[in-house]
Amino acid sequence: MDYQIAKGVFDILPEDPDPEGKWREVFYWQYIEKVARQIAEEFGFQEIRTPLFERTELFTRSVGATSDIVNKEMYTFLDKGGRSLTLRPEGTASVMRAIIDKALYQKSSMMKFYYLLPMFRYERQQAGRYRQHHQFGIEAIGSASPYQDAEVIILLHEFLQRLGLKNLNLWINCLGDHSCRENFRQSLQNYLKPYFQELSPLSQLRFENNPLRILDSKDPKDQQILLKAPSILDFLEKEAQDDFEKICAILRTEQIPYQINPKLVRGLDYYNRTVFEITAEELGAQNSLGGGGRYDHLIHELGGPQLPAFGFGSGLERIIQTMLSQKGLFPPLSFVKVYLIPLDEQAMSFSFSLLTTLRNHHISAEMDLSGKKLKIAMKRADTLKAQYVIVIGEEELHTKQLKLKEMATGNSNLLPLSKIVEVLKK
C-alpha cells in the first residue's frame, strides 16, 4: 500500500482485525479513560488540555538538555514563521507553562490538574514504546507537604487497583535537594572512575553530563559495577530525609506496599526529592506503567513564582496491555443495548419509530438498515455486542408483542410494545 501508517503509531479502532491488537480497540480506551476521570475527580483534580505543540525551549529548559527526550526523541519543526516548535513529549512542562501564562496561581496557590493527552517521542521501535503514546497525568501544585506526595502516589495505585491489575511493584526513592545531588554526583563519579572503560557506551556518555542516569542503566555489566555504588539515601539533607520517612510512614498507614529503590532516578531533569514508579512484572523491559515525583523548582525556572509541585504520568497503552494479559476487570463489552431487526419494508417504519422512542429514553439502540438476510443482521448485532435483539416481522406488527432476546443467555421474553422501554430501562 502506498499510504501505510507511519512507524510507531497506531489507530484505535472499534475492532482490530489483528488478534495481537486487541489493546488498540476503542472500548478499552474509553473504559480506562472513564475510570481515570472518575478517580481524578474523586481526588479533587480538574481536567486541563494543552496544545499539541509548544515552543521548543519549553521542553529543553524543563525536561533537561541532557535527557534522552530532549537529546534524541523530540519531534521538532520550524513553522512558516521560522519558529522552532515541538510536539509535546510529556505533559508536565505544558501544564506549568499554562499556569504561568495565565497567572493561575494568583487566584489560588493550590492547583490540582489531570490530563488525558497524547505524547510524542521519536523512540526506537520496541514493545511498549510508541512514537505517539497516551498519558493519564496528574499535577498537584502548591503543596510541599509529604501528604501531597502520598496523595498522588495513592491516586496512581488506586487507579491501577480499580482496573484489577496485579503483580505490581511500587518503587520509591528520594533525590534530596541541591546539595545532596551535588555531593552524591561527585561521590558516584569517584566510585565509577576506575570502572570507566568497562561501562557501556551510553553510561560512558552520561558519566560527565548526567552521571545519576547511569544508575538507571539496564546493561548487565553496568548493573554489576553499580552493586557497590554509593546510595543517594546516605546523602539526604535532614529535612528531605524526614519528609521521605514521613511519606513512607503514610504509605504504610494506608497499606500501600512499596519498596525503596535508591537507584531510581527517572529520565527527566526537573525532579527533586521524591521520585516513584509503578512497574508490572510481566511487561518486560518497558515495564513502567507510570511514574513521577516532586519538582519544586520547575515553575520558578520557567519564569513563574516558587511553587512546590508533585505529579505523575502513566501510559495507557501499557496499562491496557497488562490488563488484557492479566484478564483485568473490564465491564461487559457492549456498543449498543438493543439491536432492532426489521424483516420487511413495513416492519422498517415500525422499527424506526421504536428506535426513536428508545433513544428518546436514553437507551442506546441501533437498527439494521442493510436490508440483508436475518443471519447477516444477527451477525452485525453480535459485532456490536448488543445486549438484546428484537426481530420485527409480520406477526409482531400484528400482535404488538415483541420478543426481547438476551444475547448472552439466548433467553427470550415476550413483552407488549408498551412495556419495552420500562424493561430495558431497568
Where does this chain bind ligand HAM (CB under 6 A)? 90-92, 121, 123, 128-130, 133, 135, 137, 139, 268, 288-293, 311-315, 317-318
Cβ 274 vs Cβ 247: under 8 Å: yes
Complex with ligand HAM: residue 50 or 351, whichever CB lies closer: 50
Using CA atoms, how far residue 56 sits from 87, 269, 334, in Å, is: 8, 16, 43
Complex with ligand HAM: residue 138 or 392, whichever CB lies closer: 138
Dist CA 156 CA 197 (whole Å):
40
Dist CA 61 CA 369 (whole Å):
56
Cβ 117 vs Cβ 135: under 8 Å: yes
Complex with ligand HAM: residue 308 or 313, whichever CB lies closer: 313
What is the helix (H) or strand (E) element at residue 371, kind and residue range? none
Complex with ligand HAM: residue 280 or 336, whichever CB lies closer: 280
| Least Cβ distance, residue 192 to ligand HAM (angstroms) | 24
CA atoms lying within 13 Å on the CB side of residue 51: 10
Dist CA 43 CA 152 (whole Å):
9
Q: Cell match 512507524: residue?
A: 7
Taking CA 255 as the corner, what is the angle to CA 250 and CA 260, rounded to the nearest 5 degrees? Answer: 65
| Least Cβ distance, residue 41 to ligand HAM (angstroms) | 18
| Least Cβ distance, residue 14 to ligand HAM (angstroms) | 22
Complex with ligand HAM: residue 128 or 308, whichever CB lies closer: 128
Complex with ligand HAM: residue 140 or 358, whichever CB lies closer: 140
| Least Cβ distance, residue 377 to ligand HAM (angstroms) | 40
| Least Cβ distance, residue 218 to ligand HAM (angstroms) | 15
Cβ 410 vs Cβ 387: under 8 Å: no
| Least Cβ distance, residue 139 to ligand HAM (angstroms) | 5
Dist CA 66 CA 392 (whole Å):
67
Buried/exposed 327-361: b ≥16 CB within 10 Å, e otherwise: ebeeeeeebbbbbbbbbeeebbebbeebbeebeee
Q: What is the DSSP letter of 409?
A: T
| Least Cβ distance, residue 56 to ligand HAM (angstroms) | 17
The set of cell numbers assigned to 366 is 441501533
| Ranges of H-type helices in 173-219 | 178-192, 201-209
Complex with ligand HAM: residue 203 or 288, whichever CB lies closer: 288
Complex with ligand HAM: residue 211 or 293, whichever CB lies closer: 293
How many other CB atoms sit within 10 Å of the CB of residue 153? 27
| Least Cβ distance, residue 39 to ligand HAM (angstroms) | 16
Complex with ligand HAM: residue 69 or 354, whichever CB lies closer: 69
Dist CA 70 CA 59 (whole Å):
7
Complex with ligand HAM: residue 120 or 388, whichever CB lies closer: 120
Rg (CA), the chain: 27
Dist CA 266 CA 73 (whole Å):
16
